[in-house]
Amino acid sequence: MRKNILIIYYSQTGQLEDIVKNVAHPFEEKKEEYDVTYYNIQLKKDFPFPWSSDIFFNTFPESYLQIPSEILPPPEEVLNKKFDLIIFGYQVWYLTPSIPIISFLKSGFAENILKDMPVVTISGTRNMWMLSQEKLKVYLKNLKAKLVGNIALVDRHDNYTSVLTILRWMTTGKKEKSGLLPAAGVSDEEINGSGKYGRIIEAHFRNNDLDTLQTDLVKNNAVEIRAFLVRVEKVGNKIFTIWSNLIIKKKEKRPLLIKFFKVYLMAAIWIISPIVLVLHLLTTPIFWFKRKKQRQYLQGINLK
In a domain, 31, yes or no: yes
Q: Using one digit for the tens of pLDDT, what is the confidence trace for 146-196?
A: 999 999 999 999 888 999 999 999 999 999 999 899 999 999 999 999 999
Domain of 235, in residue numbers: 229-295
CA-based R_g, the chain, Å: 19
Q: Using one digit for the tens of pLDDT, what is the confidence trace for 90-143?
A: 999 999 999 999 999 999 999 999 999 999 999 999 999 999 999 999 999 999
Whether 282 has a pLDDT exceeding 90, the answer reads no
Whether 272 has a pLDDT exceeding 80, the answer reads no
Domain check: are 253 and 127 in the same one? no
pLDDT given for residue 278 in this prediction: 81
Domain check: are 189 and 107 in the same one? yes
Strand partners, 43: 71
**Residue 14 DSSP label:** S
In a domain, 216, yes or no: yes
Average pLDDT, the chain: 95
Q: End-to-end alpha-carbon separation of the chain, Å?
A: 37
Is the CA virtual torsion 25, 31, 33, 38 positive or negative? positive
Domain check: are 178 and 234 in the same one? no
Domain check: are 141 and 275 in the same one? no
Domain count, the chain: 2
Task: Annotate 164-201 with DSSP letters as a single string.
Answer: HHHHHHHHH---S-BTTB---SS-HHHHHHTHHHHHHH
Q: What CATH number is associated with residue 54?
A: 3.40.50.360
In a domain, 301, yes or no: no
| Residue among 4, 50, 55 at smallest CA distance from 27 | 4
In a domain, 266, yes or no: yes
Give the pLDDT mean for 8-29: 97
The per-residue b/e assignment along 134-159, b for 16 or more CB within 10 angstroms, e otherwise, is ebbbebbeebebebbbbbbbbbebeb
When pLDDT is cut at 50, 70 and 90, the band that residue 241 belongs to is very high
Domain check: are 174 and 269 in the same one? no
Domain check: are 48 and 138 in the same one? yes
**Residue 43 DSSP label:** B
